[in-house]
């Protein structure tokens, strides 16, 4: 019985370690995705500002 309890304890501990690792990986992925979205948002804003500046230049409007 003791050996079975130890084996179950080790399996449970291993599952807990895997769950924590999965959570950490998910957090890293979410952080990376947020950073990518921020960079994308900045790039889109820059492109929009460039487009507006070009339209103003072509139409002669300030």
Whether the model clears a pTM of 0.75, i.e. scores above it, the answer is no
pLDDT digits (tens, 9 = 90+) for 11-55: 556 666 667 677 777 788 788 888 888 888 899 999 999 999 999
Angle at 24 between CA 23 and CA 26, to 5 degrees: 65
- 4: exposed, middle or buried (C-beta count within 10 Å: 0-12, 13-18, 19+)? exposed
Tokens found for residue 48: 């929009």
């Amino acid at each position: 019985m003791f050996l079975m309890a130890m084996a179950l304890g080790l399996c449970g501990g291993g599952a807990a370690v895997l769950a924590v690792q999965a959570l950490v990986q998910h957090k890293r992925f979410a952080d990376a995705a947020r950073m990518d979205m921020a960079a994308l948002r900045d790039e889109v804003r820059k492109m929009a500002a460039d487009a507006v500046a070009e339209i103003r230049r072509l139409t002669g409007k300030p």
